Chains A and B, each alone.
Chain A
Amino acid sequence: MQKVYSQILQIAGDVITVEAEGVGYAEIAEVRTRYGISLAQVIRLDGRRVSLQVFAGSRGVSTGDPVRFFGHPMRVATGSDLLGRIFNGSGQPLDGGPALAGNLVETAGPPVNPVQRIIPRRMIRTNIPMIDVFNSLVESQKLPIFSIAGEPYNDVLARIAVQAQVDIILLGGMGLKYDDYLYFRDALEEHGALARAIFFVHTAADPTVECLLVPDLALAVAEQFALDGKRVLVLLSDMTNFCDALKEIAITMEQVPSNRGYPGDLYSQLAARYEKAVDFEAAGSITVLAATTMPGDDVTHPVPDNTGYITDGQFYLKNRVIEPFGSLSRLKQQVNGKTRDDHRTIMDTMIQLFASYRETLEKQAMGFQMSPWDKKLLRYGDLFEKEMMALTVNVPLERALDRGWEILAESFAPEETGIKKSMIEKFWPGRPKRAKDQAH
């Protein structure tokens, strides 16, 4: 029997408090207001006092409205019926289609037992050289894109979603602008990827509380597909909005704030989501790519800081390119030894030389005379920026590696690169041709 409580003691922000018995933590309830019905979730128990966050926001809730507890935590429908569908942050359809209630699973469950996991070993090709060559993306990796507002991080996410060879794409939008949401939808539709995608979208205008549910819904659905042998890519944008929603709720709940007002358990909250990334021993996988905007481009801000401790590296998106410095894929060595013999050589050498190029740029900016070596570096850096770093470059890994050798050969003599002789002999392109060019 489900009891109905009809005396709300307190309404603060989106949190309401009632006195009730036999209620569990994180349980779901329904609040009936004069504007309609909204779901709510238990977020604090204090004796008989139960605090719930109301998904649709507490606006319009009056103290006499009835609250009915369901006796179970948040659930979401899963399975192939969801493909091509778009839902909001509480799992209700946004696309005019029917609501789904098949194969319900509880969200926010524990991450997969490590025993059932395997060491990641398959590369996800994106055709973006800065990722494929320099920081390969690996199946089951959890990787944030650190960026600032205004950078094309959603474009990069959409492009990876369209080009990556995965079975299912899940998009979790948190605080998305409406046009970003439409952009994702159109980009996927244009490339025929919408039929294998599922959206859970919280737009900036929706109630804060629903923002918190988006990653859990997306990841719970992803997990069921992965158990079914599917390779799933989960895109989350933007995790900073998720953290800000956490902050908002924590402060409403009068929790003692930790760093910069964020709740003390920010790390655990983020880890609980990112750790859902998994490669199953005998089934599919979940790969998580998450946009994280850094307020004020400050990597020490609590959100990027805590994120960095959990994830397997990060991509820095700055000035509309993926920065080679700071960007890191901690799993790349699991895969880049198996692609082509020269992958690691190109990966290290090109970045070493690019670092020297940046130093030369500084020297140039100070107005110093450029030595012949500096001039070579400038030529190299220019080629590297245009033909490797630019986001418009869209080539498979092998072609990018070939181009890497060509750029090196166009800029330097072999011994100037510091590459081992054996590699030079095998891969250095067109030596005779070069000698002829110099003769002219």
Chain B
Amino acid sequence: MRERSGRLEEIPGEEAFPAYLESRIASFYERAGLVQLRNGEKGAVTIGGAVSPAGGNFEEPVTQATLKVVGAFHGLSRARADARRYPSVDPLDSWSKYTSFIEAPKVKKGIDILKKSRSVNQMMKVIGEEGTSIGEFIDYLKGEFFDAVYLQQNAFDKVDESTTDDRQKYVYGLMEEIIDKPFEFKEKDEARKFFQELSQMVIGWNSVDFKSDQFQKEEKQIRDKISNVTS
């Protein structure tokens, strides 16, 4: 649109896009919808649009015009991609106006630990690891753990590349238990070591077929590791 608008010698708008950019984008996304047909059946059009803003800057006109009219937003984050945390959808920047198959209060728990973890991480950048209490540090580790084993997937792994909703719900149960559990460690390094080991176990578990014997065996090992630490 920008290229053609220039050719037509129209007066350029923001960043040389034509002035009608927003209304065009809106009229495109508004074609998505669920309709009741005259015979009583339902039909639906779902639109997934990829927008790659210049330099990853979400303030630019196309991204902003798109965000105004869509029902969900999966924001790919440069920082996550750099750290090879894939899929690099930022869990806190992204949002959806629709309901998940995991109940809202449970989802909120996950989001809360991620927020807490991020803020502790920010804080540590200012006051250092030694300036945080062990409780806050464990929250930080919990968030990192939840991110590493639940939000991240290995696209090169046959099992982990695609996780069914049943499995997502099931594993979320365990995540919730870990998030809720008041772990106690004397030293930060001891806590870090525990979560590193736990992460490795759950990452291995992620590439085992759901509900297989191996799945149950590894789940038991994971649960044992968790209960051993708090005893």
Contact = CB atoms under 8 A, between A and B. Distances in A.
Contacts of A418: 148, 196, 199-200, 203
B54 interface: yes
Interface stretch (A36-44, A255-263, A272-280, A385-393): A255-263
Contacts of B148: 418
B212 to A, nearest CB: 16
Contacts of B55: 298-300, 305
A415 B125 CA distance: 25
Contact of A258 (B2, B84, B130, B156): B2
A256 B124 CA distance: 51
Given A418-B148, A418-B199, A418-B203, A258 B6 contact: yes
A339 interface: no
A352 interface: yes
A420 B82 contact: no
A372 B190 CA distance: 11
Interface in B181-218: 188-189, 192, 196-197, 199-200, 203-204, 207
A421 interface: yes
A369 B3 contact: no
A325 B130 contact: no
A368 B129 contact: yes
Q: How large is the interface on B (under 10, 10 to 19, 20 to 34, 35 or more residues)?
A: 35 or more
A21 to B, nearest CB: 25
A258 B6 CA distance: 7
A344 B158 CA distance: 14
Given A326-B82, A355-B82, A265 B7 contact: yes
Given A258-B16, A373-B189, A420 B203 contact: yes
A25 interface: no
A132 B167 CA distance: 36
Interface in B1-20: 2-7, 9, 12, 15-16
Interface string B123-138: 0111011100000000
B52 interface: yes
B122 to A, nearest CB: 11
B156 A264 contact: no
B189 A256 contact: no
A420 B207 contact: yes
A348 interface: yes
A406 interface: no
Most chain A beta-carbon neighbours within 10 Å: one of B78, B84, B156, B203: B84
Interface string A402-434: 000000000000011011111000000000000
Nearest to B155: A333
A352 B3 contact: no
A378 B12 CA distance: 50
B83 A264 contact: no
Most chain A beta-carbon neighbours within 10 Å: one of B78, B156, B188: B156
Contact of A369 (B7, B82, B128): B128
Interface in B145-170: 148, 156
A363 B124 CA distance: 8
Interface string B96-138: 0000000000000000000000000000111011100000000
A186 interface: no
Nearest to B154: A348
A79 interface: no
Given A326-B82, A368-B130, A415 B204 contact: no
Nearest to A349: B84
Contacts of B3: 258, 264-265, 267-268
Most chain A beta-carbon neighbours within 10 Å: one of B5, B126, B128: B128
Interface in A310-364: 324-326, 333, 337, 344, 348, 351-352, 355-356, 359, 362-363
B54 A368 contact: no
A421 B204 contact: yes
B196 A368 contact: no
A113 interface: no
Contact of B128 (A255, A368, A415): A368
A439 interface: no
B27 interface: no
B231 interface: no
A351 B84 contact: yes
Contacts of A344: 156
30 contacts: A255-B6, A257-B6, A259-B15, A259-B16, A264-B2, A264-B7, A265-B7, A298-B55, A299-B55, A300-B55, A305-B54, A324-B82, A325-B82, A326-B82, A333-B156, A344-B156, A351-B82, A352-B85, A355-B83, A355-B84, A359-B125, A362-B125, A363-B129, A366-B125, A371-B189, A372-B189, A418-B148, A420-B207, A421-B204, A422-B204
State the 3 A-B residue pairs at the shortest beta-carbon distance, nearest first. Answer: A264-B6, A300-B55, A368-B128
Given A352-B83, A363-B125, 12 more contacts: A257-B16, A258-B12, A259-B15, A259-B16, A264-B3, A309-B52, A325-B82, A348-B84, A356-B83, A368-B129, A371-B129, A420-B200
Interface of B: 2-7, 9, 12, 15-16, 52, 54-55, 57, 78, 82-85, 124-126, 128-130, 148, 156, 188-189, 192, 196-197, 199-200, 203-204, 207
